[in-house]
Structure 1
Amino acid sequence: MFVGFDYGTSNCAMSFIHEGRAQLIPLYDNNAFVPSTLYALERAFIAELVATQLTDGDDKRAYAQSRAALLSQARAGKLEHDLESVREGIFFGAEAIEHYIAAPSDGYFIKSPKSFLGASGLRQQSVDFFEDVVAAMMLNVKNRAEQYLQKTITQVVIGRPVNFQGINAQESNQQAQSILAAAGKRIGFTHIEFLFEPLAAGFDFETRLTENKTVLVVDVGGGTTDCSMVLMGPQHSQQLDRAQDFLGHTGERVGGNDFDIQLAQKILMPHVGMLSPLKTGLPMPLMPFVNAMSINDIGAQTEFYDTKTGLLLERLARETLEPELLTRFINMREGKHNFAVVREAELGKIALSTQAQHRFPLDFIESNLAPECSATNYANASAQLLQKIAALIREATQQAGTHPDLVYITGGSAKSPLIRQVVRDLFGEEIAIVDGDHFGSVAAGLGVWAERVFA
């Protein structure tokens, strides 16, 4: 059976064709989306879970050899935690978030691994790690989808951004796509195709067009923003080769996660000492605070939890004129609550899309700590990111050499009125803006394309 698989930065979803239309598959009761998060009691459990899926003798032996140390640790970990299977010690989606918040120091938590797949300079050990994490998360979705469909899924179209990273794009894209392909094969996908996510979102929309249009698809996801100018409509929809219909493509690693991080850095970090004056008259070093919130940057997280940062914070605690604020930051670091802070920033970002003020409950750092932010302040904090998105839209339009008949906005982060205003500022009021299924359009479009390539 074939499906479309949106392995997203923020959420994962899968679709299939039912009675001629793409339909999202319920994964958790009636919910078709699972947050892209994983929590394991032991890192090694992830490798053993993947190993159990391998059936080919040569592949299984090669994998066991490359992960020998981890598989040995997994056996010891099962005894330590009194588990019969590593499945009992791995959690996904909302369950993963709940376990992490309850015990941030006890297990291994990863959020939005897709953000890391194109990172420059990854060693083979890191590539192996991301292959395992992606495979485990894909397996969770695949198993739940197969349970719902009562069929085995072997063919899949997986969505990918135009560019996984802003620098060394070609090398980055090859690395990231190779990780996704290797992970998919290990869990039983025998035929894997890839499709740009903004095009997938557009294909879902195209099924509802009754006349030909030049459509600018603006897909603002959790990790990337992609823009595509595409010729769509009845004249184009049945063609398998759509190369001549794609007039322009741009994409960069700027998405919803970046808005969360920016909000956390600029609005929340001052409440834990980021801008506090020092007795020396020098400014407070910003890097520890920036690194703390950069949860999508491996290097930043490594540096934040490095011993040198701990020693720096001890010195700054003696030099700051506001020691009570820096104590909050030190407590956050010791409790490994930086992911939780960014999570509250994400929830606040969502709230500020529809309300003028929001309080951020940070009582896991200090009792009654609840900084407040206005929608205006949030917009100001996001200005640089919005400018990047505007530049991507302008570039896609320039590549196409024409203005769109309409703009189709999709992606979870595109629900923000700030994104809509960017489009209005660029094209004025005369061009129609159509909102897609912000979370489901990519998955649905991937299902549409899967039918065309596999049926």
Structure 2
Amino acid sequence: MKLYPGLDFGTTNSTLALAGRGAAPRLVALEGEHVTIPSALFYSLEDGQTYFGRAAVFEYVDGAEGRFMRALKSILGTSLMQEKTAVGRQRLSFQELIGHFLRHLRVRLEAEAANDAGIVADQIVLGRPVHFVDEDAVADRQAQDQLEAAARAEGFRHIQFQFEPVAAALYFESQVNAEQLALVVDIGGGTSDFSVVRLSPERAKASDRRSDILASTGVHVGGTDFDRLLSIAEMMPHFGLGSETADGKRRLPVWYFNDMATWHRINTLYTPKILRDIGQMKKEAAEPEKLARFEHLLSHRSGHRLAGAVESAKIALSAEDETLIRLEETGLSLAAPASRQRFDEATGELVGRIEGAIDAALAEAGVAAAAIETVILTGGGAQVPAVAAAATGRFPDARVARSDAFGSVGLGLSIDAARRFA
């Protein structure tokens, strides 16, 4: 049987799945036995190797000398895609960096194909958010073109795209036994997407499902945005955010701290000029010890370690009312309290944008909230209690289905690939 791949290249995690006509989809192990892989790279200056996924995170957290990259999907369609960044002695474009990660996944696909002659490795369906870039159709199209070009450069010859929430619906549909109207809520690492879809065992047999997709909306809000606001609220004040100069005449510039709290902006701070700027600010600051901590982040390239600690606290607050954000390393020891209440207050605007996008999906579909029979929650961000409440609160009579948080999109993309290419 021919098997076709679907690839969910995510902001924080990625998956690769295979499916054939009439065959259940399956995820491919991408890192040991793990079927998910963090969308991260580490370019080691110690041994010259490139590490991917958990191995990349380990090398970075372990203190190896090198360059750590994560959340590259967030850069698609932005002006950063036109820039190059230093990686050891090379200067690489962000499209090349994304290509390196896709190449690693293609190597895993080819290894799988070596054991199964039925796997078609050069045809693939890639997932994409409803909007890579909000309210900018040109930039949104550029983002898809950039991702396609990166994939094509790594050997994928026949490339199709499918909306990520639609893919999640296709996977869930394999479990339904009667027609229903579903809302798919996909809260990813960088975007949140919503689709109103008609599902049924009979409709599942059709190769063209466009008429069953009543609406697809999205907003550029995802898990990394929740990380950013949690960091700004609870951690950046310990590094100088909100501080004044010693003469009390002005506050310190905020953009340094905003960038340090933003996954895909952290690496842009690691320059001699920024280090000099912070050193000068420390001399002028009323609380120089806080700027000394920021200097440490720069000189030790600890920004992503801090971001990882914030992310861990966000996950902890999904189950707990209070936690600590800890960063412990040579030269810096910090443990800051964080509470569910303050987290909800800091991220209320993000939740409001998600609610607005859900309302827009219902309006586009021309259906009332009462008509939704099932709400399908997927994506890691859907684990945030305030997000889950916002996604389900207007549908009190609907079944809430918590799909595979990290695998459902990839599985659905492979189902779509089998329908398109078989």
TM-score for both structures, normalised by structure 1? 0.83
The whole-number CA distance in structure 2 between the counterparts of 1:198 and 1:134 is 22
Quote the offset at 1:311 in angstroms: 4.2
Instruction: Give the 5 Å matches for 1:146-157.
Output: 146-149=110-113, 150-151=115-116, 153-157=121-125
Letter of the 2:12 partner, please give it. Answer: S
Q: Does 2:387 match 1:384?
A: no
Residue 133 of structure 2 is aligned to residue 130 of structure 1: no
Match in the other structure for 2:7: 5
Range 189-198 or range 316-325, more displaced: 316-325
More helix by share: 1
Q: Which amino acid aligns with 2:123?
A: Q
Whether 1:163 aligns to 2:123 is no
Structure 2 Cα separation of the partners of residues 128 and 108 of structure 1: 12
1:361 paired with 2:363, answer: no
How far is the alpha carbon of 1:367 from its aligned partner?
4.2
Per the alignment, residue 249 of structure 1 pairs with: 216
What fraction of aligned residue pairs are identical, expressed as a percent?
Answer: 31
TM-score by length of 2: 0.90
Aligned equivalent of 2:55 = 95
Are the counterparts in 1 of residues 31 and 53 from structure 2 also a CA contact under 8 Å? Answer: no
* 8 Å CA contact 2:247, 2:286 repeated in 1: no
- Residue 5 of structure 2 aligns with an amino acid whose one-letter code is V
| Residue of structure 1 equivalent to 2:145 | 178
Asked if residue 143 in structure 1 is aligned to residue 133 in structure 2, the reply is no
Partner of 1:72: none
Equivalent-residue separation in structure 2 for 1:410 and 1:224 (angstroms) = 12
Give unmatched runs, 5+ long, in structure 1.
43-80
Q: How does 1:229-268 map to 2 (within 5 A)?
A: 229-268=196-235
Asked whether the 8 Å contact 2:133–2:220 carries over to 1, the reply is: yes
2:38 aligned residue: 35
Shift of residue 99, structure 1, vs aligned partner: 1.6
Structure 1 residue 181: Cα displacement: 1.9
* Matching residue's letter, 1:283: R
Following superposition of structure 1 onto structure 2, how do residues 22-61 of structure 1 map, counting pairs within 5 Å?
A: 22-41=25-44
Give the paired residue count. Answer: 406
Residue 116 of structure 1 and its aligned partner are, at CA, apart by: 0.6
1:6-21 equivalences under 5 Å are: 6-17=8-19, 20-21=23-24
Once the two structures are superposed, the pairs formed by residues 284-323 of structure 1 within 5 Å of their partners are 284-297=252-265, 302=268, 304-305=269-270, 309-323=274-288
Deviations 1:320-353 (A, max 9, x none): 2322222111211222211111111111111111
TM-superposed CA distance for 1:271, in Å, is: 1.5
Q: Distance in 2 between matches of 1:131 and 1:388?
A: 29
Q: Say which structure is richer in strand.
A: 2
Distance 2:283 2:92 in 1: 42
1:101-150 CA distance string (max 9 Å, x none) = 2346x322210211111114743768972332222212222222332452
8 A Cα contact 2:232 2:258, kept in partner: yes
Tell whether 2:363 aligns with 1:398: yes
Measured after TM superposition, the shift of residue 433 of structure 1 is 1.7
SS in 1 for 2:264: coil
Counterpart of 2:75?
A: 116
Amino acid at match of 1:130: F
Q: Which moved more, 1:30-39 or 1:181-190?
A: 181-190
Aligned equivalents of 2:290, 2:31: Cα separation in 1 = 41
**What is the alpha-carbon distance in structure 1 between the residues aligned to residue 395 and residue 145 of structure 2?**
41
> Structure 1 residue 442 and structure 2 residue 400: aligned?
no
Partner-residue secondary structure (3-state), 1:179: helix
